Structure 1
Amino acid sequence: MAQSTELSTTVVSSPALAELAEHTAKYVEAGLAGAANTAKAYAGDLKRFGAWCAEHGLGPLPASVDTLAGFVTYLAESGKKYATIERHCAAIAKAHSLGGFDSPTDEKKFKVLLQGIARVKGIRQKQAPAFSLAVFKRVVKNIDVSTPAGLRDKVILLLGFSGAFRRSELSALNIENLLFSEEGLIIELAKSKTNQLGEAEEKAIFYSPELAICPIRTLRAWVKQLDRVNGPVLISIKRNGQPSERRLTDKHVNLIVQRYLGTSFTAHSLRASFVTIAKLAGADDSAVMNQTKHKTSTMVRRYTRLDNIREHNAASKLGL
């Protein structure tokens, strides 16, 4: 036993292993990290939790079950949606994991409370609406591409829709990710929300017979105007109307989509509309998933916006 203790002391005091332990902590933190937007939301959630704990003289880390119960009750009574409350809990759970503490979210008492909040508030989330293909074509054709801003915006709409991109993926695109050919365009993806390990993933974009709505020809024209072989595809526009070298943020991608489609839509509507229109055209789930990079058919069905109760209803096929 004494020998084991002595060995343990030697291991802990080893400078080499101490340095390795620091690297281990770095990898553990990376393993617990998520998508950039999720991390940003978690940071805000933890800041809110910390401020609430400070106001009430409570410890945020590790937090007791009663502390967390009080916090989520406060969120619920403040009118927060269930999805928002759930995200706060996920952020707090991750903070405890990073700190090496047991999370109060795992306690049965807390889970019962969360279920009660879900029953009272409901768990239905507001989803980005889809648009019709006819409306989308009309909007795109009306964009003035005589200016750099107009051409860039047309790229955002056409590429976002045809590639079923998330706005963060659009923002992250680099020119070196684009592989043009006579058959179409292959876009190599870096990390994404569902691909945190950076595995090889690609999206295929195809030519349209209509020049005014062709995503590849529009993108080619834009890249030619940038006159670069690498760097961000989507960039901000200077006050003089010329392209800058600064990458466009995903927030601005969303604002640009809303400028053309209306404030009831978001950049996510491009992705949701791809799924809905593709499904209406007869595409099976596997073909849709090959572009969206969803992992399950369940997520594809969740994205499909077939909410016209008269147009999409089996009751009309009963033969009555």
Structure 2
Amino acid sequence: MGTGSASVAIGGAPSAPAVLAAESAALVSRAVEVSKSENTRRAYVSDWRRFERWCSAQGHQVLPADPLVVAAYLAEAAELRDESGGRMYAPATLTRWVAAIGHRHRAAGHTTPGSAEVVAAGWSGQVYERRDSALLLMGFAGAFRRSELAGFRVGDITRHRHDGLHVRLRRSKTDQDGAGTTRALPYTDSHCSCPPCAYLRWLQVVTAFDTGGRPAVIRLLRSAPDFEGHVCRGAWPQALEKIVPVFRSVRRNGILSATSLSGAAIHKRIRQRAAAAGYDPVLVDQLGGHSLRAGFVTQAFRNGADAHAIMRQTGHASPVMLEVYAREHSPLVGNAVTTIGL
């Protein structure tokens, strides 16, 4: 019809679309965008105020916010349930909260905490890392059974100036009378494989939680330096109770249970960590709660230790069972087939 403008069809007569001028369509589009921006702005303000209130209640600095604090904030909200048992906040809502927190930080000239890996992974991952490192290293170095690991109390483990850790076994499979025995877990050259370092880092979490709950754990993780060297020679925290279990379950929001990990949970965790490390699934299926103890015996034989030296750590009453380990897991150790010149 010669209006001088391109047109957009949106409706009209029942049998044919009507026409809206392009300029009018653009105005409608801009109005929608303005409305959306205004809605987003209002949501961001509300989201930020909620975060401010939470930080104030928990005793955390709000601006700039530590990524660990943001991660804890999200983890807590993700665990909340309504009366029907459903999640109170959808993942999209949590994502918007991160955006709102980031928006306020950018406006104030700060780095956005939402870009940190810990926010995406969850700060409780650091708690899991400390616990599992202690569990695996102590279990392997001490040749402990999973039932023994599950039964540890804080009072059973002491630091020795020269030896590393002294772990008191109050009772074990081969000590049904409860006479008890002590195993030493030594200091090592590398901090990454040092049982005393691993235990200290986990004990710090246990002590912080038992004295100040989750906020205290967050403060501990926020202030802790990067784990780039030995920490086992430094100050050790004083746990409130010697009967506190050492290895406990950890919820996704970082809350520690009051009871010990079960043997079944230790079995499962060993498999999960092996799978996460990239081991072949067939091998992972063969691992379990006894693997740390069996692995100690096998590696000790491979490294040239004799049965008596191995028995001092494992507590075996005779070398008969050790011979079974040797035949099944390290059949070439002491085997003449390696000396016949093939």
Q: Given the two structures, how large is their TM-score scaled by the length of structure 2?
A: 0.48
Larger Cα-atom Rg? 2
Instruction: Decide whether aligned partners of structure 1 residues 190 and 154 sit closer, same or farther in structure 2, where only a CA change above 3 A counts.
Output: same
**Residues 134-182 of structure 1: per-residue CA shift (max 9 Å, x gap):** xxxxxxxxxx996111211111111110000000000001110001022
Could you say which residue in structure 1 is the equivalent of 2:305?
283
Could you say which residue in structure 1 is the equivalent of 2:249?
236
Specify the SS of the correspondent of 2:286: coil
2:142 touches 2:185 (CA, 8 Å); kept in 1? Answer: yes
Higher relative contact order (CA 8 A, sep 6+): 1
Match of 2:165 among 167, 185, 196: 185
1:276 touches 1:305 (CA, 8 Å); kept in 2? Answer: no
Unaligned segments of structure 2, at least 5 residues: 1-122, 208-238, 275-283
2:301 touches 2:333 (CA, 8 Å); kept in 1? Answer: no
1:273 touches 1:305 (CA, 8 Å); kept in 2? Answer: no
Match of 2:152 among 173, 188, 195: 173
Measured after TM superposition, the shift of residue 240 of structure 1 is 1.1
Could you say which residue in structure 1 is the equivalent of 2:26?
none
Counterpart-to-counterpart distance in 2, 1:305 and 1:257:
24
> Considering only aligned residues, what root-mean-square deviation do their CA atoms show, in Å?
2.2
1:159 touches 1:215 (CA, 8 Å); kept in 2? Answer: yes
Measured after TM superposition, the shift of residue 306 of structure 1 is 5.4
**Residues 42-82 of structure 1: per-residue CA shift (max 9 Å, x gap):** xxxxxxxxxxxxxxxxxxxxxxxxxxxxxxxxxxxxxxxxx
Q: Given the two structures, how large is their TM-score scaled by the length of structure 1?
A: 0.52
1:145 touches 1:154 (CA, 8 Å); kept in 2? Answer: no
Match of 2:269 among 256, 259, 276: 256
Counterpart-to-counterpart distance in 2, 1:189 and 1:170:
10
User: Which 10-residue stretch deviates more, 252-261 or 302-311?
Assistant: 302-311
Specify the SS of the correspondent of 2:182: strand
Counterpart-to-counterpart distance in 1, 2:327 and 2:295:
7
Unaligned segments of structure 1, at least 5 residues: 1-143
**Superposed, which structure 2 residues align to 1:1-320 within 5 Å?**
147-183=126-162, 184-227=164-207, 228=239, 229-230=241-242, 231-261=244-274, 262-304=284-326, 307=329, 313-319=335-341
Counterpart-to-counterpart distance in 2, 1:211 and 1:196:
35
Counterpart-to-counterpart distance in 2, 1:315 and 1:302:
19
Instruction: Decide whether aligned partners of structure 1 residues 312 and 232 sit closer, same or farther in structure 2, where only a CA change above 3 A counts.
Output: same
Instruction: Decide whether aligned partners of structure 1 residues 214 and 146 sit closer, same or farther in structure 2, where only a CA change above 3 A counts.
Output: farther
State the identity %. Answer: 33
More helix per residue: 1
Q: How many residues align?
A: 177
